[in-house]
Amino acid sequence: MILVTGATGSVGGAVVRGLLEQKVGPVRAAYRDAKDGSTLPPEAQAVRADFADPPSLDRALAGVKAAYLVCAAVPQLVELETNFLTACKKAGTAHVVIQSALGAADFGKSFPSWHRQVEETARVLQVPATVLRPNGFMQNIGTYFAAGIRSQDCLFDGLGDARISYIDVRDVAAAAVTALTTRTTVGGVYELHGPEALGNDELARSISRVAGRPIKNVDLTLEQMKQGMIAAGMPEERARPVVELYEYYRAGGGVGSAGVLRSLIGREPRTIDAYLGEIAPMFAK
């Protein structure tokens, strides 16, 4: 039995689908909110589990040999994922694939620092683990930039002249499926990058091609970014780590080779142009 947490999310959902496609055996898909259970594939065994409710984790992990751990980037991430790893230790789970974040090795702020604490917890608990540290997701482009592109033909961001090797969440999921279905990755740490490093001027040109009109890159200061997110309704405690992460990107941390990803998934990673083509309707007026 393989358990996938966050099964209704973007990466977790793709992991569930990938495991089912490979017919690797029974797959248990964990969800938190009752309304989400009905959205899961019928071939998966749905189980309600809450990282803040240890007894629910014990039930979800019963009979599980391998598990995928992913949690939303909330300030309680370390506590919540520690609860899960503690439950894995108690259940004797043979292998946990942890979705960490790029920068966990060397950046002492924001989401990467939280994930590094979780990685260390797995080591201290002696839970056999594979750690995946993906770069920024291509899907965030549609989530965070599409509104400004539709309304003002502008890509509003604070990347400066830095670049990011964006990765498609489906490729992160494919790497996770490989790790969950083999034993060769146990104990390994894998930094995952997409196939090309883009700055926002290049990204705006790529979006212009799929949108069919000129899109301008408007470079914001980090303070402008933070205030914009707060004005849009994001709590300050959520906005601050996003801005801190951009410090990492601006220092060059977001650039890397796709070689590790390619070796895990056994094919060429998805490109930014292919992804933008898929979401072109999001940029339409």
Checking if the pLDDT of 264 tops 80, the result is: yes
Rounded to an integer, what distance in angstroms lies between the CA atom of residue 154 and that of residue 178?
Answer: 38
Same domain, 209 and 275: yes
Residue 214's pLDDT band, with cuts at 50, 70 and 90, is: very high
Is position 101 within any domain? Answer: yes
The CATH number for 185's domain is 3.40.50.720
Same domain, 64 and 173: yes
Determine the pLDDT at residue 232. Answer: 86
Same domain, 43 and 180: yes
Amino acid at the residue 23? K
Residue 215's pLDDT band, with cuts at 50, 70 and 90, is: very high
Segment 249-257 shows an average pLDDT of 96
Q: What is the mean pLDDT of the chain?
A: 95
Secondary structure of the chain in HEC code, one letter for each residue:
CEEECCCCCHHHHHHHHHHHHHCCCCEEEEECCHHHHHHCCCCCEEEECCCCCHHHHHHHHCCCCEEEECCCCCCCHHHHHHHHHHHHHHHCCCEEEEECCCCCCCCCCHHHHHHHHHHHHHHHHCCCEEEEEECCECHHHHHHHHHHHHHHCEEEECCCCCCECCECHHHHHHHHHHHHHCCCCCCCEEEECCCCCECHHHHHHHHHHHHCCCCEEEECCHHHHHHHHHHCCCCHHHHHHHHHHHHHHHCCCCCCCCHHHHHHHCCCCCCHHHHHHHCHHHHCC
Same domain, 121 and 45: yes
* C-alpha count within 13 angstroms, C-beta hemisphere, residue 147: 6
- 55: its two tokens: 């007894």
Same domain, 101 and 124: yes
Cβ neighbours around 189 below 10 Å, total: 16
Same domain, 215 and 175: no
Is position 262 within any domain? Answer: no
The CATH number for 276's domain is 3.90.25.10
Q: How many domains does the chain have?
A: 2
Same domain, 32 and 144: no
Is position 263 within any domain? Answer: no
Checking if the pLDDT of 237 tops 90, the result is: no
Determine the pLDDT at residue 285. Answer: 84
Backbone angles phi, psi at 130, to 5 degrees: -115, 135
Same domain, 100 and 159: no
Q: pLDDT by residue (tens digit) across 19-72?
A: 999 998 999 999 998 777 778 999 999 999 999 999 999 999 999 999 999 999
Cβ neighbours around 108 below 10 Å, total: 10
Segment 229-258 shows an average pLDDT of 93
Q: pLDDT by residue (tens digit) across 167-196?
A: 999 999 999 999 999 989 999 999 999 999
Question: Minimal CA–CA distance to 246: which of 119, 107, 70, 100?
Answer: 107
Checking if the pLDDT of 97 tops 80, the result is: yes
Same domain, 21 and 95: yes
Checking if the pLDDT of 280 tops 90, the result is: yes
Rounded to an integer, what distance in angstroms lies between the CA atom of residue 49 and that of residue 210?
Answer: 40
Same domain, 72 and 212: no
Question: Minimal CA–CA distance to 69: which of 82, 52, 56?
Answer: 82
Determine the pLDDT at residue 36. Answer: 76
Determine the pLDDT at residue 193. Answer: 98
Is position 278 within any domain? Answer: yes
Is position 114 within any domain? Answer: yes
Rounded to an integer, what distance in angstroms lies between the CA atom of residue 23 and that of residue 16?
Answer: 11
Same domain, 152 and 67: no
Domain around 223? 139-164+195-255+270-283
Residue 13's pLDDT band, with cuts at 50, 70 and 90, is: very high
Determine the pLDDT at residue 38. Answer: 78
Q: pLDDT by residue (tens digit) across 60-92?
A: 999 999 999 999 988 999 999 999 999 999 999
